[in-house]
Amino acid sequence: MSTDKPHKKRDIFIDGPIDPAFIAESIAKHATRTDIGGHEIFLGQVRADTGRGDGSIALAVAAIEYTAYRDMANEQMTPIREEAFARWPITCLHVYHSQGIIKAGELCFFVFASAAHRREAREAVAYVTDEVKKRLPIFGKEIVADGGHRWKSNS
């Protein structure tokens, strides 16, 4: 486990959508690490959702405008990272979330972990993904097809 030294606070936010080339570059940077046997990735993508959760149909989501209490979110991300490194023997963990308007079909959330074995990487990514959604002050305003909006809630 990588708990020898505390991890520095990082800015997890990217303005605009997450470029698939950025994801490929992140993976490629780990090719020289011979202690890694498994990578796990979660990618969040804006969905053109038409459901409201109550069974009724609404206008399709055209985009989501993400905002956050950036400093607070970055501060709260540090213990989530520390928890993941303490629970699993992962070698690295990267988390990025979009800010601004992200169109349906574009990527908005990227969690990437590496470990000697796939199970640890998989469990760490699932944990971090869920904790970010639960604990960070990130807000999504769904922009619907007619230009109106509604506030997104995480389930």
Residues 57-74 pLDDT 10s: 567 999 999 999 999 999
Is 3.90.1170.40 the CATH classification of the domain at 13-47+56-151?
yes
Report the pLDDT value the prediction gives residue 21, as an integer from 0 to 100: 97
pLDDT of amino acid 1: 44
**Radius of gyration, CA atoms only, the chain:** 17
What per-residue confidence (pLDDT) applies to 55? Answer: 54
Q: What is the pLDDT of residue 50?
A: 75
The pLDDT tens digits of the residues spanning 29-42 come to: 998 999 999 999 99
Query: Domain ranges in the chain?
Result: 13-47+56-151
Q: So what's the pLDDT on residue 34?
A: 92
Residue ranges in the chain modelled with pLDDT below 70: 1-7, 51-58, 154-155
CA 121/CA 35 separation, integer angstroms: 13
107 vs 99: CA distance, rounded Å: 11
User: Is residue 81 within 8 Å of 97, Cβ to Cβ?
Assistant: no
Q: What is the pLDDT of residue 89?
A: 97
Q: Give CA–CA dist 38/14, Å, rounded.
A: 25
In the numeric block, which tokens belong to residue 32?
A: 């020289």
Whether the model pTM is above 0.85: yes
For residue 2, the model assigns a pLDDT of 45
